[in-house]
Amino acid sequence: MPGTAPAPLLLLTGSPGCGKTTVAPLVADRHEPSACLDVDWFFAKLRRGVMEPWREEAHRQNRVVLSAAAEAAAAFAVGGYFTAAEGILYPFMLDLFAAACAPHGITLDYAVLRAPIGVVQQRVQDRRAEPLHAGALADAAVVDDLWEQFERHGVEERHRVDSGTRSPKDVAAEIDRRMGAGEFRL
């Protein structure tokens, strides 16, 4: 919108079961106006020739899909909407969001929810009955691998947020506070 300053964009990530889908709207709701974007929605739009995104050979596919998600998230932010984009976003994919945000002067923040693997696995199994998570990933071996990838990819400690035993509301409040202090800035 002409004359509107771009709003910040928060990338909220972590392994399956760490609380992204629950916490992201809580963070977005702390801002006016705001948008909450589920990055996985973009993967769901692929029709044929689709690879499971956690496979190594899906890297090119994932970059195409996340590039589209980055442009959409940036469009909301350019329009003045604080935007929380949630999904599995490893550090090596952040360049796509930086490229979408930089030309518009959008502040980009990156927060990684982290919970112990036992908590994550239990949440993944418990949520299978919830309509919101009906199609969510529940394969224990894949969840283990995705959790371990966040440990291996060298996420800086300043981007991590403990979501293991705290309420989603408390986690959202911490994210909003730390984001305001610039701790998650990329």
pLDDT by residue (tens digit) across 34-83? 999 999 999 999 999 999 998 889 999 999 999 999 999 999 999 999 99
For the entire predicted model, the pTM comes to 0.92
Give the number of other CB atoms < 10 A from CB of residue 130.
10
Bridge partners of 112, per DSSP, are: 13, 160
Q: How far apart are CA 12 and CA 87, in angstroms?
A: 7
pLDDT for 183: 97
E strands, 60-107, are 82-86
Rg of the chain on CA atoms, in Å: 16
Q: How far apart are CA 24 and CA 20, in angstroms?
A: 6
1 or 79: which leads in pLDDT: 79
Bridge partners of 86, per DSSP, are: 12, 38
With a cut of 90, say whether residue 127 has pLDDT above it.
Answer: no
With a cut of 60, say whether residue 140 has pLDDT above it.
Answer: yes
With a cut of 60, say whether residue 130 has pLDDT above it.
Answer: no
Give the number of other CB atoms < 10 A from CB of residue 105.
10
With a cut of 60, say whether residue 2 has pLDDT above it.
Answer: no
